[in-house]
Amino acid sequence: MTGSLAGEPGRRTIVAAFGGNAITRANELGTNAEQLANVRVMCEEVLPLIAAGHRLVIIHGNGPQVGALALQAEAGRALGVADQPFDVLGAMTQGQIGYLIQQTLGDLLMQARAELPASLLDASGAPPAVASVVTQVLVDPNDAAFQNPTKPIGPFYDREVAEKLAAEKGWTVVRDADRGWRRVVPSPQPIEVIEARAIRALIGTGTIVIAGGGGGIPVVRGPDGHLSGVEAVIDKDLAAERLAALVDADTLMLLTGVRRVALDFGTPSQRDVAVMTLAEARRYLDEGQFPPGSMGPKIRAAVRFIEDGGREAIVTAPEALADALLGNDGTRIVPATS
């Protein structure tokens, strides 16, 4: 990392990745009012970071929203409404959620501008701008994930309907516990964030950027250099790491449902970890401390970020975000202890 965006003492460039339940909670219908209320909570959690002068990129989940669009498409099929490919659904939800965040955070910043440092205000006294970027993420068409789709998406079907859709559309469908049958798509590794240069330029102007929603829209590059979307889902935390590395972020914050990472989770010897070195994180992953379906992707993303030259990765709950950045909460993954 060159550090050119993070050269001012005490001022960091932070990429903060929120989990999918930050916008729609598990017990909610996903109404616009519910999503707005949740977005406001999320924006209030990042406000102290902005007020402290840090540059910020926000990444959000979109699983519930994509699922809702898939259900709407399913219901609309009887009315002759055409299906949209999964990459287009991803783009639609990036715009939807980005709009809610940028409007809410912009309003909060306007309300708080009297308390913001003068250095954050422009000549007219306006607070930092907030902008959403519809983000494409390059993947390898030869990624092994394309031969083994594993990521469930969309609604549940009974077996007959699932098999009919699989035959008609070329889908891969699997039985999902006792809830029915579901489509699964590949989850390839992120290689490049197509809009990274534009996002970096926005960060440099002091703009708060919302990008990489849902892990980004997966695209492949053809022999002629043209991009095209693919039916896949990129892990959001790994995409956040790739973007953080490409924009020379100092800190990657991976937000989840717990304040600290635990070792020996669910056993009598369970214990929280405040600081984890890169070597320790690698060892714990090898030992199976962090399963793929829970904390594994976050720790892998943290390891990659440090390997790519990042200053620190932090895993914590959204409500502990500001304290964790100060070192008073959360789990910090660092190159080595001093």
> Which residue, among 243, 270, 252, 264, has the nearest Cα to 324 in the 3D structure?
252
| Residue 169 bears catalytic tag | no
Q: Are residues 100 and 195 in the same domain?
A: yes
CATH number at residue 309: 3.40.1160.10
Q: Are residues 39 and 174 in the same domain?
A: no
> What's the pLDDT score for residue 158?
87
| Residue 151 bears catalytic tag | yes
Query: Domains in the chain: how many in total?
Result: 2
The answer to whether residue 5 is domain-embedded is no
> What's the pLDDT score for residue 300?
96
Q: Are residues 20 and 57 in the same domain?
A: yes
The answer to whether residue 292 is domain-embedded is yes
Q: Are residues 158 and 216 in the same domain?
A: no
**43 vs 30, more confident:** 43
CA–CA separation, 155 and 14 (whole Å) = 35
Q: How far apart are the first and last CA of the chain?
A: 21
Catalytic residue selected from 151, 180, 206, 296? 151
pLDDT in tens, 2-21: 333 333 457 899 999 998 77
Catalytic residue selected from 216, 298, 310, 330? 298
Q: Are residues 17 and 159 in the same domain?
A: no
Q: Give the domain range for residue 85.
A: 13-138+190-334
pTM beyond 0.85: the answer is yes
Catalytic residue selected from 21, 30, 53, 309? 21
Q: Are residues 67 and 91 in the same domain?
A: yes
pLDDT in tens, 183-225: 888 999 999 999 999 999 999 999 999 999 999 999 999 999 9
The answer to whether residue 8 is domain-embedded is no
| Residue 21 bears catalytic tag | yes
**226 vs 75, more confident:** 226
The answer to whether residue 2 is domain-embedded is no
The answer to whether residue 6 is domain-embedded is no
CA–CA separation, 284 and 205 (whole Å) = 39
Q: Are residues 97 and 219 in the same domain?
A: yes
| Helix, coil or strand: residue 203 | helix
pLDDT in tens, 135-194: 999 999 999 999 999 888 777 888 898 898 889 888 898 987 777 888 888 999 999 999
The strands making up 151-157's β-sheet, listed across from edge to edge, are 151-157, 181-185, 172-175
The answer to whether residue 199 is domain-embedded is yes
Q: Are residues 32 and 126 in the same domain?
A: yes
Contact 183, 199 (CB under 8 A): no
Catalytic residue selected from 20, 30, 53, 180? 20
The answer to whether residue 59 is domain-embedded is yes
The answer to whether residue 143 is domain-embedded is no
Catalytic residue selected from 98, 214, 216, 236? 236
Six-digit token pair at 234? 């990129």
